[in-house]
Structure formats: structure tokens, C-alpha cells
Structure 1
């Protein structure tokens, strides 16, 4: 359940897109919304005051009544992670970045995604309507199943969540067709077992199994074919974003977001 959303805003246009999406989700879930800005270390008092006014106007324009503005100093990634814990936030929202010098790009974004204790939503599209079409990467890992469960909490009941499982057939395990049938049986059972724990009012779930196309390519094609607004990924919380299957996927798509990306550890 989403009760408190934290949006980290760095005064760029992509952050305003993220604020609009965070405000939409706050209204959908009747959740609190807090906007956090971390001041650059080289700003004058006059520049900080100007930034404060700009952020206050953005919050008033886009966010529900009662939303809070928080201002802080320090290293952006560290401050964001600290505030997630201090506020008891259930969801962290960031704007997708296009330039390497921006606050939450590069290693800062990796650090947040790796260490954040709550799901991360990276917003790249200019759309503040409720999500309708989402695509999820699905394997047999706990983090992938958890990501699908959290997506069911995030999405409205009218949405469709399409899960994609990709496997590589092995020569010594029989024909590709027989291995595909085995994968179908395993995924069918996984979906049946996991669906018992999904929240009431979950979106419609569809799923498919592919052999050998590669998960990143398969997801990209599925997003394009379905005009998906959201990509759902599980992420292992090891190393600099784990190079395990969904960890490496999260790292790839966070830096080359084809749509909004929802990452769950």
C-alpha cells in the first residue's frame, strides 16, 4: 500500500514531469506527497531563495493540497536515501535525466537504485494520466515476483500488466518445444501461486514466454508493440546494481528509459 510518496526535484524540466506523475499517484492512492530539493553547494542565499520560490510554485500548481516541501544541503544521493528513511516513504520518484552532470544521473542514480529501501519510479514521459499499460520482466527470482506484486499495488484496476519471461533453450535438455512447454507449466504455476497474495483490485495480468530472443530486446519490443507507459523490473541489491539477470536489466533501462521505469528490490 502506498501511503507516502517522496519526489526528489532538481529544478529541471524532467523533474516537473516526475512531480506531475507523483501528484497523480498521490491522488490515486490518497497518499501524502513530499517534494525534496537538495541545494547545490555553490549557491548564494539569493539563489537558494529563488529556488525555494520556484519549487513552492511547482508544488502549489501540481500537487494535492497539504503536500510538503523539504529543502536540504548535502550530497543529493545521500540526502535522498536519508529522507526516504526519515519520512517513512513508500515510493521514491525521480525524473529521468539526459545529461551526465545532473544531480541524479550516472553513479548517483545507481547508488539510489541500489540502496533505496522502497520502490523507485523513474519518470521519462510527459503523461499525468493513470497508467493503463505496463510490461514486467518475470523470472523465478523473488525480486521479480516482488516487483510484479508491487506493480499490482501501484497500478489502477483498469490497467493491464503484461509479464514477459525469456529463457534460453539448452541442447542437452531435449527439444526447444518440450523445454518451452516446461517453462509454460512452471510460469503457470508461479502465477497461480503468486496471485493468491496480490491485493484486491489488481490490474489484469497477461503473460508470455519466449525462447532465445534476449530479455532486454524482448522487453523493448513488448513496450513498443503495446505502447507501454511503464516498465516493471526487479533488482537485486548487491554490488553496483547486481549483474544478475534483473539487476543488469535495471541498470540498462534506468539509463536508457524507453518509458517510465519502476524498480523494486
Structure 2
């Protein structure tokens, strides 16, 4: 997470109900972190050379820019109603939504988004803006989806990769802020391969395999958990597809945290397959951690 003085929690808005839900989630996150909240709307119309000012003799509030100002004002009001006394500001920035939000990430503590916006197709579970920002952001990205739960653990996906260790650190901080238990969950399918062309054993000891995978979870937690002694930590290694294991566990969690790309995934992927899957299917808000904290 960006530790710059005054770094804000930033939430993207477009006037949709998912965006207002993201505003409420962002307001609570900002209050937990004692940070200001910044409401941002990407105003694309000037790029398309569409007139944005009201025509002559129009009623008050007419025109695309006035409408954008109104939706930002409504979002600021929603945040203030959610957490009275919160420091919140709003801004309209000319540009496409994902590009505008990515421009905020180098100096933001956290970016919060709805899972779908007004421009999303109804058949898409997660909108393209959320996926693009999660794939490229320079700070953690929190997507408001699934059920809102005040109780339950913070769940973090662990696979031994460097990004999953960063996800563990973010998840520990979140668990501490929420007064919640951390569940470090690792899904595995078969014995790991040491390299291309390695033969997998036809028979293996299931208990030994589970113990080896559990050691991977312990190594991912080593050191980080010591920095958050107030957080109870539970390790779980479950045989199954990692994305499916995490999605199933998310039904009882208040937050799921994943790294942007995991061990064994193609390095050319900007957002790993597990991260993409849980963004589409998790039953609680999902945080994607890519950048160093």
C-alpha cells in the first residue's frame, strides 16, 4: 500500500448502484485507515468531442457535465451518510474511466470499484473497468461484490509466490483493522512439478502431500504474521482447484484477498486466472494486490 502522507482511498463512480455500494465500502475503509476519501468520475465525453455544456435556454442541471457533477455530489453525500465526519472530496477528470483510475493509483492508498458500471453488459459478472484496473494498478484494488458481511474471517489465497506474500501482508493489516481472524487458504491439485518434463508419481502419500502443501502456507506467513500479533491466524490446505476452493470459502468471509498473479501462471498474464475467477465468482468483496507495499 502506498504509505505517502495523506494518501487517500479512491473510489470510482459512474452513477450506478454498484458504484454507490463501492462508495459505502470505500468510506468504511477510509475511516478504518484514518485516511481521506477521494471520489473520482472519469468523464469520457470531451474525448469523443460530444458537447458537454447545456444548450441555450436549457433547464437547470441540463448538460452532460452538470449531470456528472450531480452524480459526484450524490456519491460524496452517500459517503458522508455512511461515515459521518469523514474527510471526503470529489472530482471530475476528463478521460476514460479505467485510464483515469489507473492515473490515481501511484499516489492512492487503495482503489475501490463496483463490480459493474452503467456501461457494463448485463451478462458480465464483473465489468471491464474493474478487471483493467485490477490488472494494471500500482496499489491494491478492492472490488465491491458478493455479500456485505460485518463478521467472518479475512480470507487470503496463498500459493508461495511473491505476490501471495504481499497479499498476506495486506490481508493481515485488513484483519487487524477489522478485528477479524485471518484464514490463509491454499488450494492444490496434485504434487508439484520441479520443472518441464518432470514425471509425476503414479502413487503418492496423501498425508505427506498435505503436509508439504501446509508447509508452503506456513512459509508464506513466516515473518509477516509476527508483525500483526493481534490477528489470530488459521492455516488451511485443501485439495481442489485454487479458484474453486477460494470461491467456496468466500461464502463465509467478509473479505477475500488474492495476489494479482500466482505461482505457475503464465508470466505474460497481467491478471492471473485465479484472480480473474474469484473476481467473477466470489461471494464477498475481493482485494487484488499487485504492487509492492
TMscore range, shorter length: 0.7 to 0.9
Q: Is the 8 A contact 1:158 1:204 kept in 2?
A: no
Q: Is the 8 A contact 1:241 1:248 kept in 2?
A: no
What is the CA–CA distance in structure 1 between the aligned matches of 2:280 and 2:22, rounded to whole Å? Answer: 16
Q: Closer, same or farther in 2 for the Cα pair 1:12/1:234, shift >3 Å?
A: same
| Paired residues for 1:94-243 under 5 Å | 94-97=113-116, 100-101=120-121, 106-125=127-146, 127=148, 132-155=152-175, 156=177, 158-170=179-191, 172=201, 174-196=204-226, 198-199=227-228, 201=230, 203-211=231-239, 213-224=240-251, 227-236=252-261, 239-242=268-271
Q: Which runs of 5+ in 1 are unaligned?
A: none
What is the CA–CA distance in structure 1 between the aligned matches of 2:98 and 2:161, rounded to whole Å? Answer: 28
Which of 280, 286, 290 is residue 255 of structure 1 equivalent to? 280
What is the CA–CA distance in structure 2 between the aligned matches of 1:239 and 1:192, rounded to whole Å? Answer: 28
The structure with the larger Rg is: 2
More helix by share: 1
Do structure 1's residue 89 and structure 2's residue 108 form an aligned pair? yes
Name the structure 1 match of 2:28: 24
Offset of 1:159 from its aligned partner?
Answer: 0.7
TM-score (norm 2): 0.76
TM-score (norm 1): 0.83
Offset of 1:83 from its aligned partner?
Answer: 2.2
Name the structure 2 match of 1:44: 52
Q: Closer, same or farther in 2 for the Cα pair 1:130/1:5, shift >3 Å?
A: farther
Question: RMSD of the alignment, in Å?
Answer: 2.7
